[in-house]
Chains A and B, each alone.
Chain A
């Protein structure tokens, strides 16, 4: 059935209803465009039709936007000359929207058009707002849960179906900035206050119909189509607009660190569009939008951050066993991690038993949820009733017997094999035989820990990141004997608490820490070599890392770094690379343990605010007069991570590159613009990446040696996504 249908009423108002049957919220497909176009033609051509209302068949939403799967494949589908295909396609869409906007009026007299209004039952995002923006009046239901806006920038693109051009011309550059550059979403009332929509009413369809029947010629003319239009707030070379535009480039540049092409393109479309008539501005918007769709970064971001993230959340790698939804979880240890796990579980409606050695300690862990809930109520994000119910779901106890009835245990006690073994045995004796036992370890091997379990097939690792309530990724680790049901249970639990899972095999540091530790070490190592610490930190940020390696070390603490270094040295013996130890150990000796000590690689004031790099660092490890190039520093920092990701994939620790990419972005903020380590390597191309490895290895050491898989792919000109994009493991291909 068609996504759009039209019902011509006896009153002369044709109602076009958008209803994509197989989806809970409308998304626009390429066929959808055709259907809409045909109906608009029919309505404009039919003398009996006096006006049109476009609405949705969904009870509480208009549309969620363009189908991201369609956007992701648009370049591929655009033929041999993708840029031309995309541009022509975009111009055709602009043509359809412009037809709606002009509605058959005489372009000179601006008379004789048919009024076209939109009735929004609720949420209208992306193209779901761009279509309404082309109509003559937008009515929205008074639905405070509805979100109205243009979130495209969050996906690595920008509003490219006229949204950019229309919103800027409607509101001016300054008022449009949060909507376009930040993707800010508003509820209907705020959207009206912002000038984005026209009316908030109880029954938008009835109001829209009434308006259509009463609309005059002048009501249909957009400001930019009327004579004497001036951009609100001033065009770029208007004295008022001048500084806004100068400032906007600086702000976007500083914020995006130059690595997100969409923001740049958006701003350019705004600037260039503001200097020309409306129809030419649309053409300019289409050219910049084409450049973004052609940009490998946008493609990779959409693929990892949306399509593959969603696929993983929906169980792409879930074994085929029945639903394992968790009803009662036992959390062992009410420290920071345990308290956080209890919080997110209770938030998801799961009953929680929070166990610690003393009742007092357990209550302290529960208090974490209480204070979180209180903040939520204060900020209007929750209600006292909800907060109360959430807190009531947590039983704080020091009695192991209270764990009876739990179908999942998440152990988060001290990182010590002996301590963990003991509690595993104690708890397994209390809970039922079907209960899955998960350990939240970040450093200890799961297979080793499973030896304490009477039911190793029910034993698994669920590695949370700190702070639990904020971090989006959960790493599920299979021990040698872990069974399918344990995996499914963990995945279903992660889905309940609305996080994104990756499933990896058991090996030192699993996946995330395995990649992040070399990043930190490489940064510290450079300081020792005499690279300016500021260059190390800035180079990381300028390649899209959220924190430089030194700041990250301060956040995670120097003593943890020392502990990991010592443990790794003990495990690896001769093979251990101790290059960063002198810096790390010296810092620890100096008592500069990081943020928690208010002293680390950075200096902090007494309130704990970071001031700047500690000058003692440069005194101990003076920067050399000759500094390396920015790109060299960036390549060292990135290759240190991505080569570890490739090795993890080669070793079978990681079995799906999609997990490798999504996990890297969500787990440690790996350069999101790149789409993740494997996407980045694809962007570089295997031959170039292999050459860079060789060059880095020759200068800086064997840790940059090209992995065999990458070397083999370079020889064949293969790409990771071309070969493994469907989720195949390295050994399977």
Chain B
């Protein structure tokens, strides 16, 4: 089987996903196009250089609807012969785009791909695309649907994480992100977002709160307690699925959960021939990819079984992985991952994560894979694993190996 490699990775800075966020004025297509243009320019891609652009995006309505991937290609400097494929695996969409591209390459379906994703959460609100799993009673009731925040609190209750555990993890994420920026660890990937005149719009992750400590977080109220315990009472539904629990402990809040932001990321994927044809050096081999479905109620435990699956399929052990990126959707998700595999925090999310910098749903998977690759090179590590929890009970993972 052909091997698939990463030749380049870029990402936008993350803007606050609000009306006063720096990227709020930028359209989803334009931000996507800038990532595509950056890859084209950095790697000298000409003409029909890649087979397809696979683009992760969750809320595919309005400006993000109508196959945004193709729209982005047409809005970019890429050749119109390159099509575009929008995909949605919720929070892992960006990673899934890379995995799909890699597997196309491995299976002989073309030599080069661009894969990544975008989410303008301030412009196209989460949930505005509807979701039968939440709204259709015959499905919601059968699957014991609860919103993600409740799921994150179920994880905390089930696996015994306290509010302090979650807050301490969040403080570390902020500290690490601050250090990473101070030490220019993201420089290799960051593409400053500019306007049509070339004027800069955003050149750094603006969501971060580097001064965060236990005390500031301690002042925040649990975000999901009211919807869990009072109206409409999701805890009762959660306990139907987890009847051995007496009650759900609500420990998550805005400060120990991922931030709502705008952002995009893209990677250039190809086989050996692709590198040779374009005069590019491969940075890492995509050793394996995996995806899995899990219980939709606790929803966010996917990183554990999907990692077990990818390790089994590659014949690796957890100790073989030098660096981890586990998306910080909620503190408990990552705490559970570290608990399940007994992974040292020193090897995981070493440059912070979505709690500090934000989680642009459709882009995050591609972003953390790029971050992982940059860090593997910086710290001179051989193998890395990126994984994300996914709404509706799924998980996705990718293992990288330096070449």
Contacts and interface: CB of A to CB of B under 8 A. Distances in A.
Shortest 7 CB-CB distances between A and B: which pairs? Answer: A254-B236, A247-B232, A538-B243, A267-B137, A534-B246, A249-B140, A535-B244
A253 B144 CA distance: 8
A271 B136 contact: yes
B135 A245 contact: yes
B244 A538 contact: yes
Nearest to A623: B244
Interface in B189-208: none
Given A254-B233, A271-B135, 5 more contacts: A236-B130, A250-B145, A253-B240, A535-B244, A538-B244
Task: Place the interface of chain A in its size category.
Answer: 35 or more
Contacts of A258: 141, 240
A195 B24 CA distance: 44
B141 A542 contact: no
Contact of B232 (A251, A257, A630): A251
Interface string A623-665: 1000100100000000000000000000000000000000000
Interface string B152-168: 00000000000000000
A237 B240 contact: no
B250 to A, nearest CB: 15
Interface in A524-549: 532-535, 537-539, 542
Interface string A387-414: 0000000000000000000000000000
Interface string A401-441: 00000000000000000000000000000000000000000
B244 A239 contact: no
Task: Place the interface of chain B in its size category.
Answer: 20 to 34
A613 interface: yes
A532 B236 CA distance: 18
B237 interface: yes
B127 interface: yes
B233 A539 contact: no
Contacts of B246: 533-534, 537-538, 612-613
Contact of A250 (B128, B130, B233, B244): B233
B140 A246 contact: yes
Contacts of A532: 244
B237 A253 contact: yes
A242 interface: yes
Contacts of B346: none
Contacts of B236: 250, 253-255
A532 to B, nearest CB: 5
B243 A249 contact: no
- Scoring B127, B140, B234, B235 by chain A CB atoms within 10 A of each residue's CB, the highest score goes to B140
B231 interface: yes
A249 B141 contact: yes
B341 to A, nearest CB: 19
A249 B136 CA distance: 8
Contact of A264 (B141, B239, B243): B141
Interface string B129-149: 010001111101100111100
B137 A271 contact: yes
Given A250-B145, A250-B234, A251-B233, A268 B243 contact: no
Given A247-B231, A249-B140, A253-B237, A630 B145 contact: no
6 contacts: A236-B136, A250-B140, A254-B240, A268-B137, A271-B136, A542-B240
A267 B141 CA distance: 10
A316 interface: no
Nearest to B235: A254
A627 B141 contact: no
Contacts of A251: 232-233
B347 interface: no
Nearest to B231: A247
B243 A535 contact: yes
A237 B135 CA distance: 8
Nearest to B233: A254
A252 interface: yes
Contact of B137 (A237, A239, A264, A535): A264
A257 B240 CA distance: 7
A623 B246 CA distance: 13
A252 B240 contact: no
Contacts of B234: 250, 254
B135 A242 contact: yes
A467 to B, nearest CB: 27
A251 B240 CA distance: 12
A290 B355 CA distance: 49
A534 B128 contact: no
A542 B245 CA distance: 13
A534 B140 contact: no
Contacts of B134: 246, 249
A625 to B, nearest CB: 11
B188 interface: no
Given A239-B128, A242-B130, A268-B136, A252 B244 contact: no
B48 interface: no
- Scoring B137, B144, B243 by chain A CB atoms within 10 A of each residue's CB, the highest score goes to B137
Interface in B233-261: 233-237, 239-240, 243-247
A248 interface: yes
A251 B144 CA distance: 11
A237 B234 CA distance: 20
Contacts of B240: 253-254, 257-258, 538, 542
Contacts of A623: 244
Contacts of A630: 243
A239 B234 CA distance: 20
Nearest to A249: B140
Nearest to A254: B236
B135 A252 contact: no
Given A239-B128, A267-B137, A250 B146 contact: yes
Interface in A34-70: none
B237 A254 contact: yes
Nearest to B234: A250
Contacts of A254: 232-237, 240
A268 B136 CA distance: 7
B244 A253 contact: no
A539 B232 contact: no
Given A250-B234, A253-B237, A268-B137, A627 B244 contact: yes
Contacts of B239: 538
A169 B333 CA distance: 42
A255 B239 CA distance: 12
A627 B233 CA distance: 26
A618 to B, nearest CB: 10
Nearest to A540: B243
B232 A250 contact: yes
Contacts of A537: 246
A272 B137 CA distance: 9
A471 to B, nearest CB: 26
Nearest to B137: A267
Nearest to B243: A538
Nearest to B241: A630
B220 to A, nearest CB: 23
A258 B127 CA distance: 26
A268 B146 CA distance: 17
A266 B224 CA distance: 28
Interface string B106-146: 00000000000000000000011010001111101100111
B102 to A, nearest CB: 35
Interface string B355-377: 00000000000000000000000
Contacts of A242: 127, 130, 135
Contacts of B137: 245, 248-249, 252, 264, 267-268, 270-271
Contacts of A627: 244
A629 to B, nearest CB: 10
Contacts of A542: 240, 243
- Scoring B128, B239, B247 by chain A CB atoms within 10 A of each residue's CB, the highest score goes to B239
Contacts of A236: 130, 135-136
Interface string A223-263: 00000000000001101001001111111111101100000
Contacts of B235: 254
